[in-house]
Amino acid sequence: MRVFVLGTGSSGNALLVESEDTRVLVDAGLGPRALESRLALLGVTLERGSGRPFIDALLPTHHHGDHLSGAEKIARSTGCVVYLHDGVRAPRLRARFDVRPYPLGSAFKIGSLAVRAEHVPHDAPQVALRLASQHHAFGVATDVGRVTAGLKALLSSCDSALVEANHCAELLAFGPYPMALRHRVTGGLGHLSNQQTAELASALVGSRLTRLYLGHLSRSNNTPERALETVASAAPRLGVTVLAHGSMRALEVGRASSLQLALPFG
């Protein structure tokens, strides 16, 4: 299983999970041109033969723009199937494309991948995801207001995962955000702080999870150094890597050397 992180953060979220003959794009905060160019830079072959689109399915986690803004254009340009849970508000997408519903809390198949979605608190209906091949599993949990037992269980059954470490509480408290926005971020339906993610990571030590990638870092209220120090010190037995805002990564899930390539984007 390979995972290509194409963007993480408020400027646009998208990652491609590839296993055997199946490619699933999680989130669509980028347009098709940016998507194709970044995949090409990471060495992903866009031509697949037999008229198949370069992705088989699009799987948005929720309807905020940095996760969904490119969905219509991507669905139109690729002809891929779009999987939406009931909480995603996207009437145009549902009316114009091949949209398929899926259940929360139980596994469903997209090609060779088994997918399970777990509801997590956010100010839009949001899910964390587990995508599993025959031998490996990768978790995705960004835009999480607070850690739940269901989220811990989902991530504990993954080999590696991308989890948000959105903000440093100290930087947020004295940063540029107005009070109302600070309350939105920290009020249990916003985003995880470095400390909250560190507590989650500590709870996952000893589970199947061995590698944690930190993403969705705020450019105003966090730094990669603060996120890494806080989380890695709380879970020294996990391999912890920071994905800075706007960076791209190609990962091999389930291997000791999971980082293949890192390219920054401003």
Convert the pLDDT of each residue in 191-223 to its tens digit. 999 999 999 999 999 999 999 999 999 999 999
Name the pLDDT band for 113 (thresholds 50, 70, 90): very high
Give dist(CA 26, CA 64) in Å, integer: 13
Calpha distance 257→259 (Å, rounded): 6
The Cβ of residue 58 has, within 10 Å, a number of other Cβ atoms equal to 25
pLDDT tier at 231 (50, 70, 90 boundaries)?
Answer: very high
Which of these, 34, 40, 32, 74, lies nearest to 57 by C-alpha position?
Answer: 74
* Cβ-proximal residues to 1 (8 Å cutoff; 6+ apart), any chain: 17, 18, 19, 131, 133, 135, 136, 137, 138, 252, 253, 254
Confidence of residue 187 (pLDDT cuts 50, 70, 90): very high
User: What number is the average pLDDT over the span 7-25?
Assistant: 96
Question: Which residues does residue 129 pair with via DSSP β-bridges, in sequence order?
Answer: 117, 140
Domains delineated in the chain: 2-263 (3.60.15.10)
Determine the pLDDT at residue 45: 86
3-state secondary structure labels for all residues of the chain:
CEEEEEECCCCCCEEEEEECCEEEEECCCCCHHHHHHHHHHCCCCCCCCCCCCCCCEEECCCCCHHHHCCHHHHHHHHCCEEEECCCCCCHHHHHHCCEEECCCCCCEEECCEEEEEEEECCCCCEEEEEEECCCCEEEEECCCCCCCHHHHHHHHCCCEEEEECCECHHHHHCCCCCHHHHHHHHCCCCCCEHHHHHHHHHHHCCCCCCEEEEECCCCCCCCHHHHHHHHHHHCCCCEEEECCCCCEEEEECCCCCCEEEEECCC
The pTM (predicted TM-score) of the whole model is 0.94
Please state the length of the chain: 266
